[in-house]
A and B are shown apart, each in its own frame.
Chain A
Amino acid sequence: MRRSLLPLLLAFAFLGGTLQAQEKVMVYTSMKESLMGKLRDAFKKKQPNVAFDYYSAGAGKVMAKLAAERQAGKVAADILWHSEVPDFFQLKAEGMFEPYASPEAGAIRSTVTDPDKTFAIARLGTLGIVYNTDNAAKVGKVPKTWADLLDPAFKNKVTIANPALSGTSFMSCAMLVEKFGWDYFAKLKANGAKIGQGSGQVVDDTASGDFTICIGVDYIALDKIQKGAHLKLVFPPEMLVIPSPIAIMKTSPNKPAAKKFIDFLLSKEGQSIITASGTLPARVDVPIDKSMGLVAPEEAIKRAIKLDYPAAIKLKEGFVKQFEKTLR
């Protein structure tokens, strides 16, 4: 009997590895499980016939993966969704996207739009100053403005996600440079600020007390705050509002399912899940839960540091190098 067990197990294993549902969609995204998990559960309930899965990593890694897949001639992503807006203009220019005018897109408002409908905005991410309340209490100071990050009280205690890895960090730093110049980052360096890894890790490193302050993404910080982390998220007057575009890959063999997901995401239901997870909805008709400490979208857009998004493509390569040079 034992002899027949092994081949059987092997057969099972391979079967299991290749079993497929009838319709499927794979999203490459920089959104984390605390957001994607809720979207997945609701979408599965709504579309039980679509096998939904996602691959989540920092925007830098997602783009590298995508590029490698294009080289290998095998793109596994049906949908791309992250926050490094210039990448979307770049891929659009390369003809990598399938234009799609979702019926839900009419109610979307954002700081950037694509008239050709190759991508839609699915969320308005905001970044603020996330600080460890225990550590802040120890020095008796609470950061409120961008200038507070230069306070000697926080020397060696500030971390910023690596813009080469994190899309939100890239956009944030580009905005801060736009507003305050490279001089601001030179001063941050002088105050001992460190380049961290991804946007999630800097928040966890702040929660653990390894750092006192990080520039953090709204829903990542709020998720941990809800679970009891000793963190607080504050938004300085000059806000970082980063739209997260979503697009269907031209190479996708699963376009109908991909469209179903985008419709769902842009719908009132999808956007309500987005804001309930702690970030801003892109729809005008979805109210936010102010008790979480979010800033209403209208006000956030008004306070946001402006950026010329299409022009930011050219910025990219040089920006990361300059950032490394200034902060490393």
Chain B
Amino acid sequence: MRPRRFGTAELLLLLSILILVVVVAIPILLIFWNAFVVEGKPDFLRALALLKEPDTLEALKNSLVIAGGTTVLSTIIGVFFAWLVSRTDLPYKATMKVLFLVPFMLPSFIGALAWKILLSPRGGHINRLLMDLLHLEDPVFNIMSLGGIIAVETMYLFPFVFIQVSGALERMDPTLEEAARISGAGLFTITRRITLPLMMPSILAGALLVALYSLAHFGVPAILGTERNIFIIPTKIYEKIYASGGNFEAIRTGTMLSSILVLSAAAILYLQSLVLSSGRFQVISGKSMRPMVLKLRGLKWPLLILSVVYIALTVVLPTATIFLVGTLKTYGLAFKLENMTLDNFTYILFKWELTRDAIWNSFYLSLCAAAVTMLIGTLISYVLVKTKIRGKFLLEFLGVLPFSVPGTVIALGVILMWSGRFGVNLYNTAWIIFVAYIARYMAFALKSTSAALEQVHDSLEEAARACGASKWQAMKDVVLPLIKPGMVAAFFLIFLPALRELTTSVLLYGPHTRTIGVAIYTLNEDGETVYAAALAAIALVIIVLGQLLIKRVTRAKIESA
């Protein structure tokens, strides 16, 4: 039988390609086009001249310093704690392992706000306390500096490394180390010659994730840097766009900086794929084996205390600060009962359109974006994983794009595409944020749905077809139920980050479409610190409730399966 030339599979492929082209590819192309093409002609010299402006150059330098510093520091801390919970006899290891993941839950810009309150040079509570106690003229810490930004980003990004490395350490075949030990190698030699090389791919993978995230990150440098004239690429783009008033030169500089972001992200991802595909280190076996455990002896309790103190300092202290400041009558008062009130919370929950709308906007935008992106992602993954047709390579290429596009770039891309120049004007509406979220979170949906689809063997679908089921029936009754957990996971993987999103929406919000992140950020910018803190506290409550909900839903799924 000759294959039909155009069937359902081709249609699905075409649809998938179309969606990815419209949502991701064209916005990125527009960025490069606007950056390097002037009046229809390519003009790289002009692009270079713009980059030589002292303020853009400075932003580039700061980006490198911050991303580099954060990566190195996160790697050291992540590897150390991963080793501690998986390779030593640290007490309460299991609990500590869960605790080290908690910093992930705290949105880093809320963390930054808390640290600004605690450690701004002369106003920060800790600095004031130290200055009073030690009778100092000058503040001890300055969180509003390059070092401060690196420290705060590290606090909330090190789990990237921690997860990768602790997972790998646990799965590592302990016989390799034992063999070395039997051959007479000491602990130091084993660590250096066996364990570290084996862990290298995981360490690098985690480190590159941190680098990727830190390079594109807006919140922390915006809150801690902008006030002190410290800019990085994303905050510089934000400043350019907002200072421009539609002036095209400024937007062009933005596109140029965006191009640099995209290229560096692509380079990082390329490195990552190199690391992950290097077969040299495929020595992690699937069998569960008890790895060699180092006895900490006298260091056991001090190291536990160190870990607990670390969690307390990076999670409990900032969270408590946010809640406490949220109750202050006005910023700068001491934390005394007579200075505290719940009015801020009732005001922002019930009276103030800005904050009330922000909570509602974030909620329904994340809900819609998660549902739609998850469905589109499933469709695309299905075509990628389950069909064998010509032209698939195009989709494969397009499918990689969402992974390498930072939030700031997506925002700029959708501004270029959806503000009336091509017939559709979504400017100032919730739709423009919605479109941007689809592009931004497509990678998450693709990752988890394609993983789920790969586990469904083709024979299952074929068996259904052989029994007379139509393609659609086979899909509905066999494939979909099997990949449902993957789809649910994709939904929540998008819903939760979207709920606290700042980087993209801060460039796209209109007077009616502020999100929680934008509201907290602008409140801070407007000097409404106590309201910003109160809203941040509410956001934290919502996020924790969301996490608990996921736990329940996913556990119910596992039990029913």
Contact = CB atoms under 8 A, between A and B. Distances in A.
State whether these chains interact: yes
A328 B361 CA distance: 38
B351 A197 contact: no
Interface string B522-547: 10111111010000000000000000
Contacts, number: 153
Nearest to B229: A328
Contacts of A37: 351-352
Contacts of A198: 525-527
B419 interface: yes
A67 interface: yes
Contact of A56 (B117, B226, B419, B526): B526
Contacts of B419: 71-72, 74
A211 interface: yes
14 contacts: A13-B367, A56-B526, A64-B243, A67-B245, A67-B246, A164-B243, A197-B527, A199-B527, A201-B526, A208-B117, A208-B124, A228-B339, A229-B331, A231-B332
Top 6 closest A-B pairs, CB basis?
A200-B527, A67-B245, A210-B123, A208-B123, A13-B364, A207-B332
Interface in B231-284: 241-247
B227 interface: yes
A75 to B, nearest CB: 9
A73 B128 CA distance: 50
A70 interface: yes
A210 B329 contact: no
B122 A229 contact: no
Contacts of A40: 353
B121 A210 contact: yes
A197 B526 CA distance: 8
Contacts of B242: 60-61, 64-65
B367 A227 contact: no
A26 interface: yes
B339 A72 contact: no
B510 interface: yes
Given A64-B243, A72-B427, A204 B331 contact: yes
B118 to A, nearest CB: 11
- Most chain A CB within 10 A, of B120, B245, B512, B529, is at B245
A28 B511 contact: yes
Given A205-B123, A220-B527, A64 B331 contact: no
Contact of B425 (A63, A70, A74): A74
B105 interface: no
Contact of A72 (B123, B331, B420): B420
Nearest to B360: A16
A236 interface: no
Given A9-B367, A70-B246, A210-B120, A17 B525 contact: no
A234 B301 CA distance: 56
Interface residues of B, number: 51
A200 B332 contact: no
A224 interface: yes
Nearest to A6: B371
Given A199-B527, A204-B529, A328-B229, A71 B329 contact: no
Interface of B: 117, 120-124, 128, 226-227, 229, 241-247, 329-333, 339, 351-354, 360-361, 363-364, 367-368, 371, 419-420, 425, 427-428, 430, 510-512, 522, 524-529, 531
Given A33-B354, A203-B527, A207-B332, A197 B226 contact: yes
Nearest to B341: A227
Contacts of B353: 40, 53
Nearest to B248: A71
Contacts of B360: 16
Interface in A92-145: 132, 135
Contact of A197 (B122, B244, B245, B525): B525
Contacts of A157: 122
Interface in A301-328: 328
A52 to B, nearest CB: 9
Interface string A1-14: 00000100110011
Contacts of A287: none
A202 interface: yes
A208 B332 contact: yes
Contacts of B229: 195, 328
Contact of A208 (B246, B331, B363, B425): B331
A9 B367 CA distance: 9
A211 B122 contact: yes
A73 B123 CA distance: 44
B245 A68 contact: yes
B339 A13 contact: no
A163 B332 CA distance: 25
Contacts of B245: 63-64, 66-68
A58 B510 CA distance: 15
A201 B368 contact: no
Interface in A26-75: 26, 28, 32-33, 37, 40, 53-58, 60-61, 63-74
A228 B330 contact: yes
A72 B425 contact: yes
B364 A14 contact: yes
A192 interface: no
A230 interface: yes
A177 interface: no
B142 to A, nearest CB: 11
Contacts of A55: 510-511
Contacts of A6: 371
Contacts of A208: 117, 120, 123-124, 331-332, 529
A164 B229 CA distance: 13
Contacts of B531: 33
A229 B332 contact: yes
Nearest to B329: A227
B114 to A, nearest CB: 13
